[in-house]
Amino acid sequence: MILEATHTHLYPGHKGKISGLAQIADMQASGDCLVEFSDGSATPARISKSEDAWQLHTEAYRTAAGTDIVARRWIICLEEDECHVEFRILRKAPDHPAP
């Protein structure tokens, strides 16, 4: 599964398409994926469902312009129409408290 981002990085409000997924009902509770950005850079990621929210965990990566982006966790929503599934970044997920 590939998340096609329309920018060089993710941010609240960002929308993109998900290829390799016909409908939301096909989404597993957890799965590895790849996020491809508009500048050709990419990063491994993982989508998981926690309680009632989907989360996207992205690994650190470097944009084509050389900007380092740190690993992040995002709360996302999934939307579908008859043609494709989209994701939208709602907000950054809170960091887990240290034990």
Split at pLDDT 50, 70, 90, the class of 97 is very low
Q: Is residue 98 part of a domain?
A: no
Q: Is residue 19 part of a domain?
A: yes
| DSSP helix/strand/coil, 25 | helix
| DSSP helix/strand/coil, 98 | coil
Q: Is residue 76 part of a domain?
A: yes
Q: Is residue 99 part of a domain?
A: no
User: CB under 8 Å to 20, separation ≥6 — which residues?
Assistant: 1, 2
Q: Is residue 97 part of a domain?
A: no
pTM confidence score? 0.87
Q: How many domains does the chain have?
A: 1
Q: Is residue 83 part of a domain?
A: yes
pLDDT at 65: 96
Rounded Cα gap, residues 73 and 32, in angstroms: 14
Q: Is residue 14 part of a domain?
A: yes
CB burial of 75-94 (b: ≥16 within 10 Å; e: otherwise) equals bbebebeeeebbbebeeebe
Domain that holds residue 64: 2-92
